[in-house]
Structure 1
C-alpha cells in the first residue's frame, strides 16, 4: 500500500490517492487534496482562508508546524466596534452587530494566509511540481462539482439567532451571488452541478506564478484594489508582507505515546491537557459510553476549557503560559479536583464553524495532519476571481484589552488541533477535525477510542460522541436514555440531540498504524471520504 488519505470530501480524497499512486509523497498528496477541497467545499476552505499544518518527515525523523492564520488588517483598531456591539451569540460566541459587520461583507475579512502557508510547505517538503498538484483542482472547477449533502448543509446550517442565513450570506455581494447561486436564483440543491470557471482561472494563475502571485503579484494587486475599494481593513502591504510561521509542535504524553499538537493560538495545549488529565483514570476498565466514562471525559474537557478561556491567545500579543497548560502538574491539579468532586465547570462554550481537515500517511512514514478554513465565509468574492474570503473578524472580542481583543496583525484563537501520536519516534496515529472548539472534543475522543478502547479508525470516528466545555454535556441521540439519567444524577446538565450523527459534533478523521496495519477512518457525520492508495 502506498498510503492513506482521509478527508470529508470524497473527490478530494481521490485526488490525494492519485498523487500517491503517481509516486508523490504524503506532502504532495496533502497539497493536492487541500486544493481540491477548496473547490469541492468552497465555503469551508479556500484561497481566502487560513490553516495550521502538522507534518512528520520520515527521512529526517523530524516534525514541525506551519501555521498560516488569518491576521487582522492594519486598519483595525482595538476599540472601533466596542460601542456598537450588541453582545455575543449564546451558542457560538460570535460578536453581534445590527449590520452583521463582523460576520459578512468586507469588514469581516482578515488577511488570508492559505496560499503562503501551502507555498512554504511545498518549497520545504514537496517532491512534485507545484502546478501538477493544483491541476486536479483546476479540472474539477472547470468540470463542475457535485453538490453534496455536506456542502448544501453549510448554507442551511448558518441559521441561528443573530447570524445571517445562507441566502443572505451569498447575496451579501453581487459577485458572490453571481458565482454561488444557481442560475435560477436559488441555492444549489444536493445533486446539482456547480461550475466554478473563475476559480479555475485563479488557480491557473497561482499554478503558473506560484504562491507569491497571490500575495505579491498581479493577482494580489487585484485583490487589494477590491478590498480597499469596499472598506476592508486589509491593505496591499498586509497582503504582500504576510508570512506563515514555522515552529516545533507542542509535546505531551498519553499512555506511553508521545503526543504532538499545535501551539497557540491553536488549541493543541488544550487537547494535550485533556489527555494528561484523563491519564489519571483507567478508562479501559470502563464500558465505552457508560455514564462513568462520559462523566470523566466531560469533566476533563470542561476543566481544560477553563484554562483555554483564561489563557489562550496569540503569543505575539499575549503572554500564554503554554508550559503550564501542558504540564503534568496542571493535569494532576485538575484530576485531583475531579476525583474529589470539587470541579464545577466553566462559564463559556462555543460550537462549530465551517472548516475542513485532511490526514495523509504514505508507505515511507511521512505524515500530514492539516486543518484549514474560511471561518464561515464572508460572502465576499472579488469580481472574476471566484473564491470566497474568510470572516475571521467575528471571533475577536470587540472589547479592548482582553486576550482575544482585535489589533492590527493579530490572529484570533482557534480550536484547530492537527495532532499526531508517536511511538519509538514514529507517528502511529494521526487525528484532526473541522468545526470550531468542537474540533478539540472530536479529536480527543477519536484518540481515546483507539488507545483506550482498541477501536479501529472507522469505529473511533463513528461511535456516539459528546461535547462539553463546562456548562453542560451535549450528546447524540444514540447515547441511551438510561445513561442520560445517570449523568443527570451525577449533577450534569445534558443536552441530547435528535440526530444519531449530530452534524455539530465535528467530523473527526484518523489514520492509525497501531496493530501494524495502516488504516483510515473518515467521520460519517459529513460527506465522508477515505481512500487507500494501493
Structure 2
C-alpha cells in the first residue's frame, strides 16, 4: 500500500488516495484532498479561510508547523462594536448583534490565509505540479458533485438562539445565493448535483498565478475591490502583507509517546495539558465509559479549559506561557485538585464551530495532520470567484482590553489541534478533528481510546463521547443512562443529547502506525467519514 487518507468527505479522501497511487507523497495528497474538500463542503473550508498544518518529513525527520491563521483587517478598532453587542449565545462564545455583523456579511471577514498556507506546503514538500493537484477539485466544481449529507446538515439543522440559519447564511449576498440555493429557491437536497464553475476557474487562476496572484496580483485586485466596496475591514494592503507563521509544534509527553500539536493561538497546549493531567490516573482500571472514567476526563478537560480561557491568545499580541501550560508541574497541580475532589473550571463554554480536517500517511513515512476552516462561513462570495469567505470576526471579544479583543492584524484563538504522537521519533498516531473547542475533546478521547484502552482507530472515533469545558458534561445519547445518574450523584450537571452520533461532538479522524510499519485508519461516523487507501 502506498498510503492512507482519512477525512470527513469520502470523495475528497478518494482524490487524495489517487494522488498517492500515481506517485505523489503525503503532501501532494494533502493539497489535492484539501482543495476537493473546498468543493464538496464549501461552508466548512475554502480559499477564504485559515488553518493549521502539522507535518513530518520522513527524509529529514523534521516535525514542524505551517500556521495560516486569518487576521483582523487593518480598518478594525478595539472598541468599534463594544456598545452594540446584545449579549451572547446560550452557550457563551458568540457575541450577538441585531444585524449579525460579526457572523454574516463583509464585516465578519478576516484576512484569509489558506492560499498562502497551502502554497508554502507545495513549495517546500510537494513533488507534483499545482496543476496536477488542483485538477481533480476543479473537475468536481465544474462538472458538479452530489450534495453530501454533512454539507446539507450544516445548512438545514436548527441553530441556537441568535445564530442565523442556513438559508439566511446562504442568502447573505446575492452571489452566494445564486451559487448555493437551488433555482427553485430552496436548499439543495442530499444527492442533487451541485455545480460551481466559478470556483473551478478560480482554481485555474491560482495554478497560473500562484499565491502571489491571490495576495498581490489580478485575483487580489478582484478580491480587494469587492471587499472595499462593501464595507469590509480587510484592505488590499492586508492581503499584500499577509504571511504564514512557521516553526516548531508545542510538545508534551503521554504514556511513553511524544505529543506534538499546534502552538497558540491554536489549542495544542490545552490538549497536551489534558493528557498530562490524566497521566496521573489509571483510566484503564476505571473501565471505559464508566462514571469514574468520565468523571476524570471531564475534570481534566475543565481544568485545562480554565487555563485556556485565562492564557490563550495570539502570541504576537500577548504573552502566552507555553512552557508553564505544557509543564508536568502544572499538570500535577491540577491532578492534585482532582484527587481532592475539587470541581474545576470557570463555567465558560464556546459554541461548536464548523471546520474540516485531514490525516494522511504515506509509504515512506511522511505524515500530515491539517485542520482548515471558514469558521461557519460569512455568506460572502465575490462575483465570479465562487468561494465563500470566513466569518472569524465572531470569535473576537468586542470589548477592548482582553487577550482576545479585536485588534488590527490579530489572529483569534481557535480550538484547532492537528496532532501527532511520535514513537522513537516517528509518527505513531496522526489525529485531528473539526468543530470549535469540541475539537480538543474529540482528539483527546481518540488518543485515550487508543493508548489507554487499546482500541483500533475506528473504534476510538466511534464509541460514545463527552465534552466538558468547566460547566456541564455534555454526553451523547449512547452514554449509558445509569452512568449519567451516577455522575449527577457525584455532583456533575449532565446534559445528554438525544442524538446517538451527535455531530456537535466533532468528528475525529485518525491514522495509527504500528511498530512494524503497518497502518490503519478511523473516520468518524458522526458526519461523512471518508477513508481511502492507496494501493
TM-score of Structure 1 vs Structure 2, range by shorter chain: over 0.9
The aligned runs of 1:351-430 (5 Å cut-off) are 351-430=351-430
State the distance in 1 between where 2:453 and 2:505 align.
Answer: 20
> Cα deviations across residues 406-429 of structure 1 (Å, max 9, x unaligned)?
100000000000000001000010
TM-superposed CA distance for 1:344, in Å, is 3.4
**Which residue is equivalent to 1:531?**
532
State the distance in 2 between where 1:460 and 1:122 align.
Answer: 32
The answer (yes or no) to whether the contact 2:94–2:351 under 8 Å persists in 1 is no
The answer (yes or no) to whether the contact 1:351–1:504 under 8 Å persists in 2 is no
**Which residue is equivalent to 1:88?**
88
The aligned runs of 1:207-218 (5 Å cut-off) are 207-218=207-218
The aligned runs of 1:181-200 (5 Å cut-off) are 181-200=181-200
**Which residue is equivalent to 1:460?**
460
Bigger drift between 477-486 and 438-447 goes to 477-486
**Which residue is equivalent to 1:306?**
306
Bigger drift between 164-173 and 151-160 goes to 151-160
TM-superposed CA distance for 1:212, in Å, is 1.5
The answer (yes or no) to whether the contact 1:267–1:415 under 8 Å persists in 2 is yes
Residue aligned with 2:67, SS: strand
**Which residue is equivalent to 1:326?**
326
TM-superposed CA distance for 1:90, in Å, is 2.1
Show structure 1 runs of 5+ residues with no match: none
1:60 equivalenced with 2:75 (yes/no):
no
Assess, with a 3 A threshold, how the Cα gap between structure 1 residues 387 and 158 changes in structure 2: closer, same or farther: farther
Count, aligned residues? 534
Residue aligned with 1:460, SS: helix
> Cα deviations across residues 301-331 of structure 1 (Å, max 9, x unaligned)?
0000000000000000111111100000000
Residue aligned with 1:478, SS: coil
> Cα deviations across residues 333-373 of structure 1 (Å, max 9, x unaligned)?
00000001123332201131110000000011100000000
The answer (yes or no) to whether the contact 1:92–1:352 under 8 Å persists in 2 is no
> Cα deviations across residues 372-402 of structure 1 (Å, max 9, x unaligned)?
0000000000001110000000000000010
The aligned runs of 1:439-454 (5 Å cut-off) are 439-454=439-454
State the distance in 2 between where 1:138 and 1:493 align.
Answer: 48
TM-superposed CA distance for 1:92, in Å, is 4.8
TM-superposed CA distance for 1:158, in Å, is 5.8
Residue aligned with 1:210, SS: helix
1:522 equivalenced with 2:523 (yes/no):
yes
Residue aligned with 2:73, SS: coil
**Which residue is equivalent to 1:32?**
32
State the distance in 2 between where 1:531 and 1:312 align.
Answer: 35
State the distance in 1 between where 2:203 and 2:52 align.
Answer: 21
TM-superposed CA distance for 1:159, in Å, is 2.0
Assess, with a 3 A threshold, how the Cα gap between structure 1 residues 107 and 169 changes in structure 2: closer, same or farther: same
> Cα deviations across residues 178-216 of structure 1 (Å, max 9, x unaligned)?
111001111111111100001111111011111211111
TM-score by length of 2: 0.99
1:108 equivalenced with 2:108 (yes/no):
yes
Bigger drift between 345-354 and 467-476 goes to 345-354
State the distance in 1 between where 2:410 and 2:111 align.
Answer: 10
TM-superposed CA distance for 1:515, in Å, is 5.4
Bigger drift between 504-513 and 343-352 goes to 343-352
State the distance in 1 between where 2:514 and 2:487 align.
Answer: 32
State the distance in 1 between where 2:95 and 2:126 align.
Answer: 39
State the distance in 2 between where 1:328 and 1:158 align.
Answer: 42
TM-superposed CA distance for 1:157, in Å, is 3.1
State the distance in 1 between where 2:214 and 2:92 align.
Answer: 32
**Which residue is equivalent to 2:15?**
15
Show structure 2 runs of 5+ residues with no match: none
**Which residue is equivalent to 1:483?**
483
TM-superposed CA distance for 1:89, in Å, is 1.0
**Which residue is equivalent to 1:43?**
43
Residue aligned with 2:63, SS: strand
State the distance in 1 between where 2:470 and 2:317 align.
Answer: 27
Name segments (4+ residues, structure 1) moved above 6 Å: none
Residue aligned with 1:211, SS: helix
State the distance in 2 between where 1:48 and 1:295 align.
Answer: 40
State the distance in 2 between where 1:267 and 1:389 align.
Answer: 23
